[in-house]
């Protein structure tokens, strides 16, 4: 049985099944292992990991909620977050997808060029970066789901570049949803696009290692925020917002982050927002040894982690920004049909527009159909989401049906 346990309750002999943190947080070579001694428990606590999942079938048991019980409690909290209006898209997803595809390609090539310059010790040409940030900003204004949905598609060869583009698009959307002024949004987007510049100094063998990092490799990766900050501050056109986001996007409110071990509100609001966005994109992407999780599941994990690592209010606002079921999410409907989310509803995030394409009970593909879950029987609706699903378990690619929207 899988149980969720506070780290302070851990004892030698328990079997760790999941570290309940993003993959760059914990200092262990494995995600699953038998706790051998108190020293391993101290390492977990020192890493800022407040709870873990244990497997009682493979180690010592303790009185604690099951994973299902803990998940149900989180889901109940998430449902309450949904009841807040969101800003409607200006154009349809289909209208924006083609433009978003071009912006995705353009921005990825730019980040690749920036990384190459940084590796060679050249100054960053900010004049080349700002127009791309502007293009991202305008796309997000037209329809946030188009670009952020497309950027969920990454492979191991372009992950580093597309991660930066994705963090840029998501942070711009987050800032816009909170009503920030245009100058702040643009500077935040610039910082987000350049936030991982320091990874140019991390050897490719470590960045793309097809296995867990050693403690020494982990320490090298953890230097990238400060390295990026040092690279960018040599360019006079990079302002304070971008420098702050670059240096502090791995800080955590409980002081367990890096490089400066900042805590609480000593971390700027934009850096806290960037931290949420960075983790969300990282844990939803496939890596050489880390399988990405569905976006809807990632939001629920981040909501759970906000008890210690993130500002809970900001996490809730981010969830409203991207949707309780983000664009591109695979969901199961009460009717037994699978669908991909294509657009959030303006006032009810639990009832988005979806593209239905598969009947799970009959195990057959069906003709794609757009369904507005906010509408009643006889008006194209009369269905509801019962769960978010993992595409890998159904062997389907929901992005194929996003493109048909």
E strands, 26-178, are: 33-34, 51-55
Tell me the pTM: 0.89
Phi and psi dihedrals of 341, rounded to 5? -75, 130
E strands, 76-152, are: none
Mean of pLDDT values over 381-402: 86
Tens of pLDDT, residues 165-189: 999 999 999 999 999 999 999 999 9
Selection from 361, 321, 338, 386 nearest residue 82 by Cα = 321
DSSP type of residue 124: P
Sorted by sequence, the CB contacts under 8 Å of residue 194 that are 6+ apart come out as 114, 124, 129, 164, 228, 232, 238, 242, 246
CA dihedral 33, 36, 37, 40 (to 10 degrees): -20
Task: Kindly state the tokens that stand for 71.
Answer: 């998940």
Task: Kindly state the tokens that stand for 207.
Answer: 């960045």
d(C-alpha 35, C-alpha 194), whole Å:
39
Q: Where are the domains of the chain?
A: 2-64, 93-322, 330-402
d(C-alpha 182, C-alpha 31), whole Å:
42
Tens of pLDDT, residues 314-332: 999 999 999 899 999 999 9
Count of all residues that appear for the chain in the document: 405
State yes or no: cis peptide before 109, omega within 30 of 0: no
d(C-alpha 30, C-alpha 18), whole Å:
10
Q: Is 5 buried (19+), middle (13-18) or exposed (0-12) by CB count in 10 A?
A: buried
CATH of 93-322, one of 1.20.120.160, 1.10.8.60, 1.10.3210.10, 1.10.10.10: 1.10.3210.10
Confidence check: pLDDT of 243 > 80 = yes
Tens of pLDDT, residues 288-310: 767 888 999 999 999 999 988 99
């Amino acid at each position: 049985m899988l149980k969720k346990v506070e780290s302070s309750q851990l004892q030698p002999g328990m079997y760790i099944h999941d570290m309940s943190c993003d993959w760059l947080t914990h200092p262990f070579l494995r995600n699953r292992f038998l706790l051998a001694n108190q020293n391993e428990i101290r390492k977990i606590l020192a890493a800022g990991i407040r709870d873990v999942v244990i497997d009682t079938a493979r180690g010592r048991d303790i009185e604690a909620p099951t994973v299902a019980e803990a998940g149900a409690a989180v889901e109940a909290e998430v449902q309450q977050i949904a009841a807040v209006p969101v800003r409607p898209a200006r154009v349809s997803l289909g209208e924006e997808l083609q433009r978003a595809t071009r912006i995705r390609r353009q921005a990825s090539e730019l980040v690749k060029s920036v990384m190459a310059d940084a590796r060679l010790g050249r100054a960053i040409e900010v004049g080349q970066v700002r127009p791309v940030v502007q293009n991202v900003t305008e796309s997000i204004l037209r329809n946030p789901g188009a670009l952020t949905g497309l950027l969920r598609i990454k492979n191991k060869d372009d992950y580093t570049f597309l991660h930066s583009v994705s963090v840029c698009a998501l942070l711009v959307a987050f800032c816009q949803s909170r009503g920030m002024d245009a100058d702040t949004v643009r500077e935040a987007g610039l910082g987000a696009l350049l936030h991982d510049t320091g990874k140019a100094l991390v050897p490719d063998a470590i960045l793309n290692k097809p296995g867990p990092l050693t403690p020494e490799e982990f320490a090298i990766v953890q230097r990238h925020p400060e390295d990026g900050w040092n690279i960018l501050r040599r360019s006079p056109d990079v302002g304070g917002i971008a420098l702050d986001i670059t240096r502090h996007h791995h800080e955590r409110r409980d002081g367990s982050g890096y490089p400066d071990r900042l805590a609480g509100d000593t971390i700027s609001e934009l850096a806290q927002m960037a931290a949420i966005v960075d983790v969300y994109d990282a844990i939803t992407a496939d890596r050489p040894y880390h399988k990405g999780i569905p976006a809807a599941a990632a939001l629920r994990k981040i909501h759970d982690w906000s008890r210690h690592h993130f500002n809970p209010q900001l996490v809730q606002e981010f969830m409203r920004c991207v949707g309780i079921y983000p664009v591109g999410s695979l969901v199961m409907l009460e009717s037994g049909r699978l669908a991909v989310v294509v657009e959030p509803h303006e006032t009810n995030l639990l009832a988005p527009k979806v593209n239905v394409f598969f009947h799970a009970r009959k195990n057959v593909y069906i003709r794609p159909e757009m369904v507005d879950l906010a509408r009643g029987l006889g008006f194209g609706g009369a269905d509801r989401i019962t769960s978010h699903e993992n595409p890998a378990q159904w062997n389907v690619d929901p992005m194929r049906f996003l493109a048909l929207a």
